Each structure stands twice: as structure tokens, then as C-alpha cells.
Amino acid sequence: MHRLEFIGRFARNRGALIGAVLILVVALMALLAPLFFPVDPLRIVGQPELWPGEDPDFPLGTDSLGRDMLSMIVHGARATLLIGLFASAVATLIGVGVGATAGYFGGWIDEIAMRAAELFQTIPNLIFVLTIVVILGSTLTNIVIAIGIVSWTPIARMTRAEFLSLRDREFVQACRAMGMGDLKIIVAEILPNALPPVIVLSSLVVAGAILFESAVSFLGLGDPNVASWGRLVGDGRLLIRSSWYICAIPGVAIMITVLCLNLIGDGLNDALNPKLRDR
């Protein structure tokens, strides 16, 4: 597919374009957070429970301890996006590995891989994540790995389906005839062709991972050193009678980010399969 044509099709999708622009803003916010808000976001800077707009110094108000909400949201973007990206990377690595092996070799390997996928789909995902985190400890690494472990199955199925349809094509047969090894065929020949739809799917997995992380942090099981958006919602939970904005604002941030990632995923999907667009 021509790259320009692809980008053009993506850009014509208004929702996807808005999503991409907003995600860029969030990403910039995350990158430049220390520049705009050099002070530790968890430091107490003003009166507690100032409503948004009440004090021009704190456009989004302050929380129950008097910490700047805007600073916490901007710094939280960092944690939230990084966790989402890394968890999705873990899921993609596992999913592509399992799916490629299953689709390429077929037979009993395929059978075992698909049973494993079914197994991981059977265990209620968040319960699995909480169990892993509580047994192995609430560190950032454990949370990222746990989310990856429950999110790889759709990627594995997609990769497998792509490999099934590609493995007997002529160019692959040609490679085989030339005596190329299985590993090289998988990685260098089939994988690049199978990757586009898989990448689309992993952009959706980022969205899912962000929701997972926010739920884990909300329940108070997140890494205590990381102030992600989910944790901010959880922190504000006891104050909903007097200051419900403390809960509302980080939640809106999560929702917008996830919404944009979904829009981008949809846009990429449509651009990849123009025929399906009108469905």
C-alpha cells in the first residue's frame, strides 16, 4: 500500500484526526510536565479543596491536601501513558510470538497455543491482574507485566490469522525453496506483511491497558510512588459530597485519552481496509 495514500485516508477521517491531535497534546504534556510544573506535583502548595476557577493560581483547583490538581493531572499523564505503552508492548511481544508460532507451524503447536489463549481469556482479567500484583508486589514492573499477560490474546489471534493466510503464499514458498530457515522466514518475510493490522490492534490495547491500570490504582493497589490518574480518582473518592471535582477531573482525563486512542485505532482500521469503511 502506498504510504501517502494511507495517510490521506487516515486524515480524511475526522474523528481519527481529532484523536491523533489530542493524543499528541497529551503526550507533549507528559513529556514537558517538568518544564511547566517543576515543583513536585505531590507537594502542598495552597489551601485544600479549592474549586476549579476559585483561585487563578490553580485553574483546576486543589485536592483535599492542597495540592495543585492541574500539576497532578499533567504529571499523571506521564505515568498513565507510559504504563499503557509498556503494557501494550508486553502484550504485543507475547501475542505476536505466540500467534506467529501457532500460525506458521500449525498442527499441535497451534492447538496448544490456542488452548492457552482460551485459558487466559477464561480467567477474569482484572482478578488475574490483582492476584498477580498482590502476590508479587505492587511495583510498576509487576503491574505492567500483569496487564500485558491478560491482554495478549487478541493480538495472538490476529497474528495467527495473518500468518495462516500468508504462510503458503508464493513468496514464502520461494524462500523455503531457497533453503531459508523457519525463524528467518517468520521474522523477515511474513512478519512485516502481517504487522499492520496487529499494530492497529495494539493501539487499542494501549487504551485497554490504561483502563486496567486506572482500575488497579483506583483500588489502591498501584505503585505507591506513581500518581497516575486512576489513583487521583481513588484519592478523591471520600470527598464526593463536598468536592466531587477531585474525582471528576482525572476521570475526564482518562476518558479523553482512551477515547482518542480508540478513535485512532478506528481510523487506522478504516484506512487499512477502505472497503469496510461504510459498515
Partner 1 sequence: MAGELASPTASPRITRGSSRRVAAFRLLRRRLIQAVPLMLGVVVINFVLIQLAPGSFLELMTAENQVSDPATIALLRKTYGLDDPVWLQLLKYIWALMRFDFGFSYRQNIPVIDAISVHLPATLLLMISSITLALAVGIAAGVVASMKVRTFWDTLVSVVAMFFFAAPGFWLGIMLIVLFSVKLGWLPVGGMATIGGASSGFTAVLDILHHLLLPTLALGLFYAAIYTRVMRSSMLEVAQLDFVRTARAKGLSRNRVTISHVLRNALLPVVTILGVQMGTVLAGSVVIESVFSWPGVGSLLFDSVSSRNYPVVLGIMVLGSLVVIAANIAVDLVYMWLDPRIEIR
Q: Between residues 190 and 267, which has the closer beta carbon with respect to partner 1? A: 267
Q: Which is nearer to partner 1, 99 or 230 (CB)?
A: 230
Written in H, E and C, the secondary structure of 32-84 is: HHHHHCCCCCCCECCCCCCCCCCCCCCCCCECCCCEEHHHHHHHHHHHHHHHH
Neighbours of 219 (CB within 10 A): 14
Of the two residues 185 and 204, which places its CB atom closer to partner 1 in the complex?
Answer: 204
CB closer to partner 1, 43 vs 115: 115
Q: 180-219 mask for partner 1 (x: CB under 8 A)?
A: ---------------------------x---x--xx--xx
What radius of gyration do the chain's Cα atoms show? 22
Nearer to partner 1 among residue 89 and residue 126 (C-beta):
126
CB of 180 to partner 1, least distance (A): 34
Tell me the per-residue interface mask from 105 to 134 with partner 1, x by CB under 8 A, - otherwise.
----------xx-xx-xxxxxxxx-xxx-x
Contact track, partner 1, 19-48, x by CB under 8 A: ------------------------------
Q: What residues numbered 230-259 form the site for partner 1, per CB under 8 A? A: 230, 233, 237, 240-241, 244, 247-248, 251, 254-256, 258-259
Please give the single-letter amino acid code of residue 231.
R
Cell of 172: 514464502
135 binding partner 1? (CB under 8 A): yes
Which residue, 103 or 230, has its beta carbon nearer to partner 1? 230
Contacts to partner 1 by CB under 8 A: 115-116, 118-119, 121-128, 130-132, 134-137, 207, 211, 214-215, 218-221, 230, 233, 237, 240-241, 244, 247-248, 251, 254-256, 258-259, 262-263, 278-279
